[in-house]
Amino acid sequence: MKTVIVTDSTAYLPLHKMEDFNIKMIPLTVILDGESYDEEVDISSTEFYDRVRGDGPLPKTSQPPIGRFVSLFESLKEEYDAIISIHLSSGISGTYAGAVQAGEMVDGVDVYAFDSELSCCPQGFYVLRAAELAKEGASPETILAELNEMKKTMRAYFMVDDLAHLQRGGRLSGAQAFIGSLLQVKPILHFEDKVIVPFEKIRTRKKAMKRIAEMLAEDAAKMPLEAAIIHANCPEDAEKWLKELSAKLPNVDFTISHFGPVIGTHLGEGSMGLGWVKKGN
C-alpha cells in the first residue's frame, strides 16, 4: 500500500524536508488590510512581522476551505492508496475537521485525519515521522499507531511577550479570571485538552525561558529527545538559546523553527517556545 502524508502550513516545515519526503502542504490564510495571503507561500514570516508591528488592528486568520482539501485528495488518489492528513489542534482551528469532512467526500482513497492537538514544529515532528515510515512502506495503521505512541512523550511550552494577541484573538481558553494576574508577568503557556492554557506565571522573560529549559532537562534525563527551539521573529535569541541548551544537554538533538504568520498572529512577535519528543519512538 502506498501512503502519502499531508499537513498544513502551521507545521512550519523546511521546504527541503517536504520535498525529500514528498509531503503535501495545505496553507492556512492570514488576512492583512483586507488582503488574503497563504502563509509560507504568499508572505514570509519576516514580511508579516514587519507589517503588523505596532498598535494597529490584529490580522485575521482563516482555515483552508474544504474544497482545497477535496481537490488535493482527488489528485493524490491517482497515485496513492492512502492519505494521512496531520493538522494543528482541533481546539484552535477547524482545519482538522475540514480534512475529516473532505476525506468523507472523496472516493477511491483511504483518508486518515490525525489531530496533533498542538501546532508548529511539534506538529512537524509527527509529520516527519509519518513521512519516514510511509517512505519505508509502512501501513497507515502502523503509522497512526506510531503517532499515537509519540503523543505520550510530546511536550510543548511557550512564552509570549504580550498577552494582548491571545486575548484579542480568542485563543487563550479557560483562563479569563487568570488573565488579570498575568498581565504583569511572562506566562508560560501550553496545550491542554487541545487548547492553549496558562501553565505557570513567571516574572521575567529570562526566568520563563529558564523554567521551560528545566522541564526539557528533566525529560532529557529520562530518555533521548529531539527538540525544537521556536521563535517569533527573534532568530538571534533562538541561536543564543540553542548554544546554551546544546552545551548543557548534549544528548538532545536540537533544531530551530519559527512561529509563522498564522500562529504569530495569536502569539505576537518576540514569543519563544520549546517542543520535544522522545527520539526514535
In this predicted model, what pLDDT tens digit does every residue of 121-149 receive, in sequence order? 999 999 999 999 999 999 999 999 999 99
Residue 251 amino acid letter? N
Rounded to whole angstroms, the Cα distance separating 19 from 123 reads 17
Neighbours of 132 (CB within 10 A): 15
Residue 279 confidence (pLDDT) above 60: yes
- In sequence order, the β-bridge partners of residue 112 are 84
C-alpha pair distances (Å), 144 with each of 20, 84, 276: 21, 8, 19
pLDDT in tens, 43-95: 999 999 999 887 777 899 999 999 999 999 999 999 999 999 999 999 999 99
Strand blocks (E) in 92-171? 110-115, 155-159
Q: Who contacts 153 (Cβ-Cβ below 8 Å, separation ≥6)?
A: 219, 223, 277, 278, 281
Question: 3-state class of 221 per DSSP?
Answer: coil
Sign of CA dihedral 29, 30, 31, 37: negative
Question: Is 176's pLDDT higher than 50?
Answer: no
**Owner of C-alpha cell 482513497:** 109
Q: For 9-35, write each residue's pLDDT tens digit.
A: 999 999 999 999 999 999 999 999 899
Beta-carbon contacts of 212 under 8 Å, excluding residues fewer than 6 positions away, are 157, 158, 159, 188, 273, 274
Taking 80 as the threshold, does the pLDDT of residue 170 lie above it?
no
Average pLDDT of the residues in 102-108: 98
- Mapping DSSP to helix (H, G, I), strand (E, B) and coil, where does residue 124 land? helix
pLDDT surpassing 80 at residue 277: yes
Q: How many CA atoms lie within 13 A of 147 on its CB side?
A: 31
Please, what is the end-to-end C-alpha distance for the chain in angstroms?
A: 22
Delineate the domains of the chain, giving CATH numbers in brackets. 3-27+64-150 (3.40.50.10170), 155-278 (3.30.1180.10)
Q: With cut-offs at 50, 70 and 90, classify the pLDDT of residue 174.
A: very low
Phi then psi for residue 28, to 5 deg, are -85, 170
Give residue 167's pLDDT: 60
**Contact between residue 266 and residue 171 where contact means Cβ atoms under 8 Å apart:** yes
Instruction: Specify the pLDDT at position 53.
Output: 84
